[in-house]
Amino acid sequence: QICEKFTICENSMEMLLHNNLNLPKVTEEDGDFLTFLSFQDKCLRKISSGLYTFQTYLKYVQETFISEDQNVGSLSYSTEHLARTIRQMMINPKEVIIPDAATKESLHTKLKSTKAWTEKITIHLILRDFTSFMEKTVRAVRYMQNTRSFSV
């Protein structure tokens, strides 16, 4: 919807130049996907920590993309609920990294300081990376369910 409404596309040079958001991701550093998943607690920690981190980004999207406030609010609530649920599935839930108030405030301030003309790009990048993160989360949970490692 953002791409259509604000004519921001994946190939936008501006978007590529301003992608310094440091959003949570499952990366090559995490190793091969199946190997990564074989360490169930590590995978759940990565997912839950990432979801908690996305909370601040989603708050920014909600405040900035006002026409979608209700949808983003619902998404944010569901994301927090999923992060808590996944954290509870872990053997050692204390290993989940939950950003403290100061970290959240610092990130939120940094996001709010973006210039008006880059807001749309920032929102697009956050939602794009959140979508990618959730796709990998769904694959990971399905994999764990199919291997009967745990039940949701």
Instruction: Give the list of residues 6+ apart from residue 41 with CB closer than 8 angstroms, or none.
Output: 90, 91, 92, 95
- Look up residue 60 and give its two tokens: 């920014």
Average pLDDT over residues 139-144: 81
| Residue range 44-99, pLDDT digits in tens | 899 999 999 999 999 999 998 888 888 899 999 999 999 999 999 888 899 999 99
Say which range, 16-20, 29-33, 87-91, 145-149, has the weakest mean pLDDT: 29-33
The larger pLDDT score, comparing residue 12 to residue 126, is at 126
Instruction: Give the list of residues 6+ apart from residue 95 with CB closer than 8 angstroms, or none.
Output: 41, 45
| Residue range 21-47, pLDDT digits in tens | 777 776 554 444 555 444 688 888 999
Q: Tell me how far apart the alpha carbons of residues 74 and 69 are, in angstroms, rounded to a whole number.
A: 9
Q: How confident is the model at residue 20 (pLDDT cuts 50, 70, 90)?
A: low
SS3 148: coil
pLDDT given for residue 26 in this prediction = 63
Q: Is the separation of the CB atoms in 40 and 150 below 8 Å?
A: yes
Q: How confident is the model at residue 8 (pLDDT cuts 50, 70, 90)?
A: low
The larger pLDDT score, comparing residue 78 to residue 148, is at 78
Q: Is the pLDDT of residue 7 over 70?
A: no
Domains of the chain with bracketed CATH: 40-150 (1.20.1250.10)
The backbone torsions φ and ψ at residue 14, rounded to the nearest 5 degrees and listed phi first, read -60, -45
